[in-house]
Every structure is written in C-alpha cells, then in structure tokens.
Structure 1
Amino acid sequence: MSLVICYGSVIADRVLQLPRFPRPGEGIHALGEQLYLGGEPCNVGGH
C-alpha cells in the first residue's frame, strides 16, 4: 500500500435546488441545499 499526501485549498460547494431560475434582482426560496467538498486535494485524492 502506498501513501499519497495531497495538499492545497479545500473548498466547500453549496448547491441549491431552485424551483426555477431567478430573474435579475429577484429573491427566491431554495427547495433544498447540498454541501460538497472540493478543491485540489479533494479532487485529486479522490481518484
């Protein structure tokens, strides 16, 4: 088994589920929200 160390910026992506695309300047309520980890170490280390 090999040891691989990945380092860099870890980013959290917030993905919102909307009923429709909002118009410019319009507020809209999200139907749901998901949080995903991303960034260089998560993307490279996950493969």
Structure 2
Amino acid sequence: MFRSRYIQDVGYWEWVSTTSRNGLDAIIWVLCIAIVVAVVVAVL
C-alpha cells in the first residue's frame, strides 16, 4: 500500500517537473486551442 502510494507520488512529481519544464509549450498549446475554439464558436 505505502509502496505503491510512494511510486505514485514520485511519478506525480516527475510529471510536475516535466510539465514545468515544458510550461511554455503548454501555454502556447492552450492559447492555440482557445483561439481555434473561439473561431469555431464564432462561426457557429
């Protein structure tokens, strides 16, 4: 139980560090998606 929980925490922090490293890319992707959604909504 504790062991699997520990592995999950390690994986979570690994994911957090990877996400923060790629934070700029993520922000750009979110902006692109938001623009596409806004255009689609405006057209509809």
Is the TM-score greater than 0.5?
Answer: no
1 or 2, which has the higher strand percentage?
1
1 or 2, which has the higher helix percentage?
2
Q: TM-score normalised to the size of structure 1?
A: 0.23
Q: TM-score normalised to the size of structure 2?
A: 0.23
